[in-house]
């Protein structure tokens, strides 16, 4: 039982030491940033912590995406990539009978402006 208590105390001390070391590193980086940028030590340290969190997030997302497996066989092997042909495709398409409007004529939308200054 005494060995377990000593192990727990050792783990807590190691965690505390690593936390203090991490804080010292961020304060050190903040001190360097405050020399180069017009920021206070607190602002520069907060910037260093935020940058470290952003980098950690990007690394986490990239490593998570590397473990994804995509199923490229959703459509199946019998999927026909060619479009289906309609039975009436041999009939020519017709365009609606709309009179062509010149650029300097009055716009057909009813605004009263020239077509080139309105809809054209």
* pLDDT tens for each residue of 5-24: 888 888 888 887 777 667 77
Instruction: Quote the CA–CA distance of 32 and 9 in Å, as a whole number.
Output: 34
pLDDT at position 86 over 80: no
Residue 85 has pLDDT above 60, yes or no: yes
What SS3 class is residue 114? strand
- In 3-state terms, what secondary structure has residue 90? coil
Contact present, 77 and 71 (Cβ < 8 Å): no
């Amino acid at each position: 039982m005494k060995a377990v208590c000593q192990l727990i105390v050792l783990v807590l001390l190691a965690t505390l030491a690593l936390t203090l070391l991490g804080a010292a590193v961020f304060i050190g980086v903040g001190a360097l940033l405050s020399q180069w940028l017009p920021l206070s030590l607190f602002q520069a340290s907060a910037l260093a912590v935020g940058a470290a969190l952003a980098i950690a997030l990007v690394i986490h997302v990239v490593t998570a995406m590397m473990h994804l497996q995509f199923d490229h066989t959703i459509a199946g092997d019998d999927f026909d990539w060619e479009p289906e042909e309609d039975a009436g495709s041999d009939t020519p398409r017709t365009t609606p009978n709309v009179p062509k409007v010149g650029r300097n004529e009055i716009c057909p939308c009813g605004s009263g402006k020239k077509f080139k200054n309105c809809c054209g």
